[in-house]
Amino acid sequence: MENHYKKSGCFKFLYGITLLISGILLPSCVKDDDQKLPSNVIHKIVADKNGIKWIATDENLYTFNGSNWSYYTNNPFEDKINITDLSINPSNNNEIWIAGLKHIGFLNFNATGIIHSGSYEVSTNPLLSDTVYALAIDLLDVKYFGTPQGLSILKNDNWSTFVGRRSEEILSEYKVSSIATAKNGWVYAATAGGGVSRFKYTDAISGATTYDSVYAGIRSNYVNTVVIVDDTCQWFGTNNGAAFHTSHYTKNDWTQYSTSEGLICDTVLSIAKDFNGNIWFGTSNGVSRFDGNSFTNFTTANGLANNKVNTISIDIDGSVWFGTDNGISHFKDNNWANHNIH
């Protein structure tokens, strides 16, 4: 296939190399002084061990190395790639997995560029659906993919499926919105309407249960995000505030936070813990920083690019990146910098 580039001069960029995901993805780049992105709708930001930011949008996958933006397009017959989630493999920090509305794929990279890539499609693999909303990878290198039909699980090239606890098959009934894995082996699959399915997986599912607003400490079954902190503790962002859970017990050890405690908005879309122990909450109406005692809130009036914050990522230097519906905000040394196409 003939190579098609949007712009030239990107071969010196760290990840400026051909990438295969459901077709050919080819690099293009813009200078940082352009301050422009191919799309303003940011779904996920992940900072790798080199400080490269991998950024998923509704149109492209792209990266930022601190100086240059590099973004990708696939073959010339299809210009847009809707990337929904990204995850660096915890057992292989040189591998990143990518999920989208038409594909899943992976990249192996080193300090000079991408050295290997591959993809999986529902037509040739037992993936439940080629629409994947969320993904996660555990310490045993097991991959979990959230689809409209349930979870597809990949271990050592073998596929299996899981739809939830028997008689509570919420993963096939509600969209899987987020997946997180803990060091103690628990996997948490959050849904948009059914609560959270929790289980362990080795070669089969064990310990399956459901966290919901009736029997657990979340105030809404519409759970937008689940994040593991301190190896095993869980934060859940819902449409009715955030919940913090410090054990594996279904009913015990929960603390809830909402606007009553100072959270800027009860619709919590993203959560991250920074190096100083602060918890950051991205909501549909701004950002909250929680130091364990009180909340500090930020909106567009303070410098945030947009008040709908879909993703938060902590960089290797401790600064914080926010992906919004109108570009990216970077918070460093108490200063805001924004990047968008306007």
Domain assignment of residue 244, given as a range: 19-339
- Cβ atoms < 10 Å from Cβ of 341: 12
Q: Report pTM.
A: 0.89
pLDDT of 342: 53
* Better-scored residue on pLDDT, 295 or 50: 295
pLDDT of 183: 97
Answer whether residue 8 is part of any domain: no
Answer whether residue 296 is part of any domain: yes
Confidence check: pLDDT of 14 > 70: no
pLDDT of 203: 92
* Better-scored residue on pLDDT, 21 or 325: 325
Answer whether residue 5 is part of any domain: no
Mean pLDDT score, 4-20: 30
Structure tokens at 181: 């894995």
pLDDT of 120: 82
**Minimum mean pLDDT range among 78-82, 106-110, 162-166:** 78-82
Measured over the CA atoms of residue 288, residue 290, residue 291 and residue 293, the dihedral's sign is: positive
pLDDT tier at 340, thresholds 50, 70, 90: confident
- Cβ atoms < 10 Å from Cβ of 259: 14
Confidence check: pLDDT of 109 > 60: yes
Number of domains in the chain: 1
CATH code of 277's domain: 2.130.10.10
pLDDT tier at 116, thresholds 50, 70, 90: confident
Alpha-carbon distance of 194 to 227, in angstroms, equals 17
pLDDT of 137: 98
- For 5, 13, 89, 99, 105, the CA distances from 126, given in Å and listed in that order, are 33, 36, 21, 16, 14
Helix (H, G, I), strand (E, B) or coil at 148: coil
Alpha-carbon distance of 25 to 55, in angstroms, equals 15
Mean pLDDT score, 7-23: 32
Answer whether residue 41 is part of any domain: yes
Q: Tokens 């993919």 — which residue? A: 145
